[in-house]
Structures are given as structure tokens and as C-alpha cells.
Amino acid sequence: MALDLFKALVEAAARGEAVALVTVVATSGSTPQRVGAKMIVFRDGRTLGTIGGGCYEHDAVLKAREALTTGRPELLHYSLTDELAADTGLICGGQMEVFVEPIRQPARLYIAGAGHISVELARLAANVDFVVTVVDDRERFAYRERFPAAVVVVDEIPSWFDRQEFPADAYFVVVTRGHRQDLDTVRVLVKRPSSYLGLIGSRAKVLKVIDALAEEGAPRERLDALHAPIGLDIGAVTPAEIAVSIVAELVAARSGRLAAPHVAACSLCSSLPRVTR
């Protein structure tokens, strides 16, 4: 079983999938499992291995799934002498400490567009441990020297995104050079699960995109999850400042502290027409 657990951890890492490792780290008295017993918990609640079963294991699974959202480890204390233990047949008379360790793979950020904002965005996102891919159809903008910390793809943007398979917790930022490309790219991405989908532009442009996709039958819940206008409202004007606002929002999303997305006017958006993307 230990080999199966370690194999599952390696496979999850290869997929870029976050999991939580739950380990019995201390026991006293009679307990259903010994120190070192392990269990892997996936984001959707699937498990591999066991720390003893019953309601205590169920509680540990819930805590592990929470840890995958917050990124914070937790030490759990269980007494196997209370009424709950008796109800589940685990009244062993002992105590058990369980360590929940979220093993979160570096978040994968896909940037649609290789303009000036994307240059700053890719650099800052890589500095805070995002694995960055930049996609653009213009070779004069999309090349490795311009994006040294990112994977660079030269291809037609919406088509490339439509052909790829992405992890369910991927992050997407749409900052292409024009409204039509933005619309076509978001049209593809609203059909995909993601941790974050953001679109740059003015409030008027964002509303046009949402209205167009709603008329086409795009899932309402996915349109409601669109972060647009993108970035935290910090009064950003320059490409570097706008990138800071976007990366701050990405970090907030990754840590589970981002407020619900909404479409609203902000000072960042009013500056965008003056910036070449």
C-alpha cells in the first residue's frame, strides 16, 4: 500500500494536481492505526489509504480538502473514547494525532496575448511560483528572450486553447490585442473548469463579451465566475502596475481569499485604451 501511495503522489505531481497527505504522527493507548499510517485525499474527496476509518477519517478528509483550498497544514487531535467513537465502533480508548499536509503543485497560469502587460505579468507571476505559458500568434512578440520565465507558444490563440487539455485548477488571463480575439478566447475558456478566468478591458467591453456569450448559450455560472475587468482596483496605469494588480488577484484566488467576481468600472480599466497590450 505504501508503494501505491507514493506512486499516486508522483502521478498527481505529473498531472499538476494538488492532493493532501494525511499521516498519523502520534498515538497513545489503543488506536485503529499505528504511527505512520497514511492516506491521500484528492480535491474531489477521493481517498487512497486509510488512517482507521469511521467518522474520524471522514473528518480528516474534510479538513484535508479545506487545506487544499487554504494551503495551510493542520495538526488534528482525536480522542477514541467519546460517544462518537462508540457510535462508529472505534472506541479503542486511545488518542491519535493526525497531520494534514496539502501538497499543492505550482499553479499553472496561461496568458492569452504577448503584449506589454503580458511581459510584466509573466515575470511577476513566475516570481510568485506560477508556472507560466504565454500564447500569441505574433512571432515578433512571442519569443523566449521576451519571456525568459515562461513557456512561449506561437499559434492562433483561440484555436490553441481549444485544442489543449488543462488541469481543472488552471488559471487563465485573457489580454489579447483586440476585442474579437478576446471574445473568441473567452468563448473557448468558459467551457473549461478553472480556478480563475480573467479578462482585461473596459466595463463596456466586458459587458459586450458577456452579452454575446450569453446569447450563444454559454453556461451562466461560468460567465458569473469571469473576473472582469481584471485585477484589483489599485489605480494602476502603466503595464507594470496593471500586472501587479492582476498578479495580486491571482494570488488571492490561489489562497482562497478572493471575493466573488463581478463586472464593475474601475480606475484600472479607464487606463487601458492608452496602453498597448
Three-state SS string over the chain comes to CHHHHHHHHHHHHHHCCCEEEEEEEEEECCCCCCCCCEEEEECCCCEEECCCCHHHHHHHHHHHHHHHHHCCCEEEEEECCCHHHHHCCCCCCCEEEEEEEEECCCCEEEEECCCHHHHHHHHHHHHCCCEEEEEECCCCCCCCCCCCCEEEEECCHHHHHHHCCCCCCCEEEECCCCHHHHHHHHHHHCCCCCCEEEECCCHHHHHHHHHHHHHCCCCHHHHHCCECCCCCCCCCCCHHHHHHHHHHHHHHHHCCCCCCCCCCCCHHHHHHHHCCC
Per-residue pLDDT of 112-150, as tens digits, reads 999 999 999 999 999 999 999 999 999 999 999 999 999
Q: Kindly indicate the confidence band of residue 160, based on its pLDDT and cuts at 50, 70 and 90.
A: very high
Cβ(182)–Cβ(158) below 8 Å: no
Report the alpha-carbon distance of residue 18 to residue 106 in Å, rounded.
9
Q: What pLDDT, on the 0 to 100 scale, is given for residue 221?
A: 84
pLDDT of res. 138: 96
- Is pLDDT at 2 greater than 80 in this prediction? no
| CA atoms lying within 13 Å on the CB side of residue 117 | 31
Q: What is the mean pLDDT of the chain?
A: 86
pLDDT at 173 over 80: yes
Q: How far apart are CA 9 and CA 115, in angstroms?
A: 37
> What pLDDT score does 220 carry?
84
Domain ranges of the chain: 2-103, 108-274
Contacts of 71 (CB under 8 A, 6+ apart): 102, 104, 254, 255, 256
Neighbours of 1 (CB within 10 A): 10
Please give the CATH number for the structural domain made up of 108-274.
3.40.50.720
Quick count: other Cβ atoms within 10 Å of Cβ 130?
Answer: 24
The yes-or-no verdict on residue 275 having pLDDT over 50 is: no
What is the model's pTM?
A: 0.71
Q: Note the pLDDT tens digit of each residue in 30-77.
A: 788 889 999 999 988 999 999 988 788 989 999 999 998 788 899 999
Cell digits for 99?
Answer: 497531520
